[in-house]
Amino acid sequence: MEFLSYGFMRNALIAICIITPLFGMLGTMIVNNRMAFFSDALGHSALTGMALGVVLGVAGTDLPMLLFAVCFALVLNHMKRKSSASTDTMISVFSSLGTAVGLVILSRGGNFSKYSALLVGDILSITGKEILCLVVVLAVTFLFWLFCFNKLHACSINKSLAKSKGIPVRLMEDLFGVLIAVIVMLSIKWVGVLLINALLILPVAAAANISSNMREYHLFSVILSVASGLIGLILSYYLNAAAGPTIVIVAAVFFAATFFAKPLFRS
């Protein structure tokens, strides 16, 4: 427990205990809704958001990143409804464009190294104030889940069916899109553009292997997510490696284990 003597490790530990259950919950719907690509694209768009902040000369990059991501999510949802082209293709186009625009602006004048931390993230640099912000996000997400999960779930299974039950399908989809955007943006600095989707998807996919209903799914997903986070963080301390990637590797091990344990749970 030597690592607990460092303030930054304590902060990181607390942050992990907030981010991972948040991702575990959110991920279940992302996986069920086949939105893995969507959240990935949002992560990439963080680069553009940051670039916008730099261009506009705003002091913090948080606000432009948030605003950009929310717009991005709503536009994507809109395009998905309008366009007959496959959703994957649409998202891919937006995602690559977002990344490219961000990289072009940020790398002008050879300055990119200043921002490259965004790619892998750094959980160890999180401050108390930022942790508080994450607590608020976790609370909001939980409330949203409490009141809207059923409706969202019905929409994800069949939109027409949800509509026939009087559920406001578009509103639900847009609220969920905005929620993902906000959460991805607020946690991307700590987790990194490259890994955020892995953290959203891997523990959830592992939970899906061994669950047969929504309650088990959420329970296992949150447990596996928190476990990967904690084990990964502590391992990274002793291995002297970056925290984010270590967490992802632990989550991947969990996925492999549950994948092979599947028959035991599904008999």
Partner 1 sequence: MFGSLEKKKRNKELKKRAGHLSERAACGLHCIKMEDIGVYAGKTPIIEHVNVHIHCGKLTAIIGRNGAGKSTLIKAILGEVAHEGTIEFRDMKENKVKKLKIGYVPQYLNLKKDAPVSVYDLFASCISNVPVFLCRKKALYNEILNRLALFEAENLIDKRLGDLSGGELQRVLLSIACTPVPNLLLLDEPVSGVDRKGMELFYRTIHNLKEKYDLSVILVSHDLTLVKEYADSVILLDKTVLKEGTPEEVMESPEFHEIFG
Q: Which is nearer to partner 1, 185 or 208 (CB)?
A: 208
* 36 exposure class (CB count in 10 Å sphere: 0-12, 13-18, 19+): middle
Binding flag, residue 77, partner 1 (CB under 8 A) = no
Cβ density class 49-84: b for 16+ within 10 Å, e for less: bbbbbbeeeeeebbebbbebbbebbeebbeebeeee
Tokens of 93: 């186009």
Among 159, 194, 231, 245, binds partner 1 (CB under 8 A): 159
Tokens of 101: 């625009």
- Whole-angstrom CA distances from 38 to 30, 81, 148, 215 are 8, 14, 20, 24
Binding flag, residue 86, partner 1 (CB under 8 A) = no
We find the least distance from the C-beta atom of residue 196 to partner 1, in angstroms, to be 22
Tokens of 21: 């259950």
Quick note: the x/- pattern for partner 1 over 92-131, rule CB under 8 A, is ----------------------------------------
Residues for the chain: how many in total?
267
We find the least distance from the C-beta atom of residue 172 to partner 1, in angstroms, to be 11
Binding flag, residue 32, partner 1 (CB under 8 A) = yes
We find the least distance from the C-beta atom of residue 151 to partner 1, in angstroms, to be 7
Binding flag, residue 267, partner 1 (CB under 8 A) = no
CB 175 within 8 A of CB 141: no
We find the least distance from the C-beta atom of residue 35 to partner 1, in angstroms, to be 12
* 194 exposure class (CB count in 10 Å sphere: 0-12, 13-18, 19+): middle
Binding flag, residue 264, partner 1 (CB under 8 A) = no
We find the least distance from the C-beta atom of residue 258 to partner 1, in angstroms, to be 12
Quick note: the x/- pattern for partner 1 over 172-211, rule CB under 8 A, is -----------------------------------xx--x
Q: Which is nearer to partner 1, 54 or 76 (CB)?
A: 76
Binding flag, residue 85, partner 1 (CB under 8 A) = no
Contact window for partner 1 (CB under 8 A) among 70-78, 119-127, 148-156, 241-249: 148-156
Binding flag, residue 144, partner 1 (CB under 8 A) = no
Residue among 84, 91, 116 nearest 37 (CA): 91
CB 61 within 8 A of CB 189: no
**Phi, psi at 180, each rounded to 5°:** -60, -45
We find the least distance from the C-beta atom of residue 100 to partner 1, in angstroms, to be 30
Among 5, 109, 113, 213, binds partner 1 (CB under 8 A): 213
CB 36 within 8 A of CB 201: yes
List of residues contacting partner 1 (CB under 8 A): 25, 28, 32, 34, 145-147, 149-151, 153-154, 156-165, 169, 207-208, 211-218
